[in-house]
Structure 1
Amino acid sequence: MKIRWKSLLAAAGALALAGLAVPAARPAFAASLTEVTAFGSNPGGMRMHVYVPDVRPAAPPIVVAMHGCGGSGPGFYSSSEFASLADRYGFIVIYPSAMQEAGFGKCFDTWSSAAKTRGGGSDPVSIASMVSYAGRQYGADLNRVYATGSSSGGMMTQHMLALYPDLFKAGASFMGVPFDCFANAADYPPGASQCTGGSMNRTPQQWGDAVRRVDTGYTGPRPRVQLWHGTADTLVPYQLLQESIEQWTNVFGLSQTPTSSDTPQTGWNRRRYADSTGTAQVEAYSVQGAGHTLPSSGMAAAAVAFFGITTPPSTPPSTPPSTPPSSSPGTPACRVTDTVNAWDRGLTATITITNSGAGSINGWSLVFTLPAGQTITSGWSATYSPQSGQVTARNVGYNPVIASNSSISIGFQATHTGNTAKPTSFTLNGNPCAVG
């Protein structure tokens, strides 16, 4: 008989109490992002950051929130709305940082044989260990664990739901791909990937079988799945949303025809696939005209609502919440680092903007010069205009604030005619930035 994950968590907890596992330093219960350096088995060599809100129930839920390629846990903490929602609803957020280079910078491993095997190693085992740690250290409710992520993190979201259906209650995947979409490391972008090359087309049965093969003896409940994709996404093609729908509806034994469809917000076309009880087991959002830029404002809240963890904690805060710093007057000091990963006639660029000034920046625009022959085709975490020459990147709805000594990451995909140099001449809100 197979040992299920919660039994393993209980065993891990017992080992910790027996002194055979050494926990990290005493957690900081102030509402700040904290790094945990010894959370358990870590074959992926990952970093773990955790956000524990000041006010939370006795056994808070857990949301694992995962960044895109080239990003980091702290970057996703700064650029997404999950921490602010954690303050409102009292759940813990785990922000893993991927450490494996994959052409787009550091990405979550969804391609290796080890990562496709339950308990096989690599990043999935590291992430599961982070959840186990949060259960032990913060008394979190291991019956209410949820996954979400953007791009590479969206891919890992669907990956974890397939590998650990007894650990995760639900997931929300932004711009992801179905489980087992990548054949191996060579099939991962930016190479000639069959998965993300625009030609992937398997039957619902084939997709469902890929999930069922993980553990042929598993008969327990499956986590509910919410899927988001922009109709203008060219980096992870929009048609992969349909492949994910086919996979998860097949896993649940549901029809490919939605039981309902609506537009909960302008530009958000939602299809729901409900079971015989009327519960939507799969939800799919097509975001009209959006490129590789999700989640944008309000989408994290929709994900948390899908998880069903929107009841505010009943315990009042012991002290009034602090007032966020307002945008300081004067000249913002800034530093920029940028990396470029190029292939054939395409490239991706990741730009990290650090506010090195004393005050918070609320609302920003970053102007830079794109090398000759490069043209932006899509981007994330900012809007870009024009697509070549001197470009202005402006904040989107979820990342207008850059706190003092904090950073955010943005990026774009571009074509090139042979010149793969980095962007230059950065100015933030009209003031020059140091580079490097």
Structure 2
Amino acid sequence: MRRQSLGFAIAALAALWAAPAAAAGCTLGAPGETVRVAVGATGRSAMLHLPEGFARTRPAPLVLLLHGSGGSGKAILENSKLAAAADRHGFIVVAPDAGIPVQMGFVWNIPGVPTVTGRIPTAEDADDVAFLKGVIDWLAANRCVDRTRVYATGLSGGGRMSSWLGCVAADRFAAIAPVVGLRAGNPLASDPRLPDPATCRPDRPLPVIAFAGDADRTNPIQGGGAGYWQYTMATALARWADLDLCRAGPVQRDIDAKLYEIRYSDCRAGAEVTGRITRGAGHVWAADNDAIWAFFARHRRR
């Protein structure tokens, strides 16, 4: 009887020791697979990709991947090929749908800026900033992500949304990488060729790398086009350099025959601002995923 009681005691201790280990790790999805997950109690979902070899007991970096106007999280995850880069480098990718449904998909709510439908979002529309913050909090609560290594990237409207996150939620992100969508605040009402400084006031220096093609006719690097896209990419880069208090730049150099870079450096708190432009590229995912991650990996939220 005593031996049996001792056995129960040992089993109970073993269960106690094992329970924290099981509870300590991320239990969402499976390493190397992409699944759709319901995000907490938000009533919304997102595509989640855990990298191959993901160690559940060690929180990983997180990259929010934001689709373009009229797109979806599922489509941008497939088209960007970012999941393959996640497998190579060991970061988690989450690709949610935007909060405003349109006929062809979804669009992001950037307050004060018309969507591709021409309609300015109202208070009745979903608050996408609050939702994306909730995604981060939910993944952190599930012990999946490292809060100091959270990043955002996105295509076109998703690039504008990741820029907006940098403006209004810099405290949540270590760096951003807009693709064919870099902005630095809403166009100024009195002169839309300039960004309105009142609409982009990050509370900390934020590293920025942006990608574009010089043949993009939807969001041309020379500015113009739709109402949400009036000032140039160079103006947006310069504004981010001002916000980050960069003391050097812009310096332009060729990366190769088809790619050149504009860079600001010596910025406050280790930030940097870089634009990479592909000659001859249009309104496409004009970004090297390994280059995005190399930039992200240099920065951690302090």
**Bin of the TM-score, shorter chain as denominator length:** 0.7 to 0.9
Contact 1:268 1:287 in 2 (8 A): yes
Q: How far apart are the structure 1 equivalents of 2:253 and 2:242?
A: 22
What amino acid sits opposite 1:83 in the alignment? Answer: A
Contact 2:244 2:267 in 1 (8 A): no
Alignment partner of 2:284 out of 293, 307, 314:
293
Tell me the equivalent position of 2:62.
Answer: 62
Q: How far apart are the structure 2 equivalents of 1:276 and 1:267?
A: 27
* Coordinate RMSD, CA, aligned: 3.1
With normalisation by structure 1, the TM-score equals 0.53
Tell me the equivalent position of 1:232.
Answer: 215
Alignment partner of 1:303 out of 273, 292, 296:
292
For these two proteins, the number of residue pairs brought into alignment is: 254
Alignment partner of 2:246 out of 251, 254, 260:
254
After TM superposition, the structure 1 = structure 2 runs for residues 44-123 of structure 1, keeping only pairs within 5 Å, are 46-57=44-55, 58-101=58-101, 105-112=105-112, 122-123=127-128
Q: How far apart are the structure 1 equivalents of 2:47 and 2:267?
A: 39
Q: Deviations over 1:65-117 (max 9, x none)?
A: 1111122111111111211111111111111111414687421111349x99x
Alignment partner of 1:266 out of 254, 257, 264:
257
Contact 1:246 1:256 in 2 (8 A): no
For residue 136 of structure 1, report the CA deviation from its aligned partner: 1.6
SS class of match (2:110): coil
What amino acid sits opposite 1:49 in the alignment? Answer: M
Contact 2:248 2:265 in 1 (8 A): no
| Identical residues among aligned pairs (%) | 25
For residue 308 of structure 1, report the CA deviation from its aligned partner: 1.3
Distance 1:145 1:172, change over 3 A: same
Tell me the equivalent position of 1:222.
Answer: 205
Which structure shows the higher helix fraction? Answer: 2
After TM superposition, the structure 1 = structure 2 runs for residues 156-235 of structure 1, keeping only pairs within 5 Å, are 156-181=161-186, 200-202=192-194, 207-212=196-201, 218=203, 221-235=204-218
Which structure shows the higher strand fraction? Answer: 1
Q: Deviations over 1:140-191 (max 9, x none)?
A: 11000000010011001111111111110001001114243268xxxxxxxx
Tell me the equivalent position of 2:40.
Answer: 39
Distance 1:182 1:47, change over 3 A: farther
Alignment partner of 2:148 out of 122, 143, 146:
143
Contact 1:56 1:89 in 2 (8 A): no
Distance 1:278 1:139, change over 3 A: closer
- Structure 2: runs of 5 or more not aligned: 1-25, 114-119, 223-231
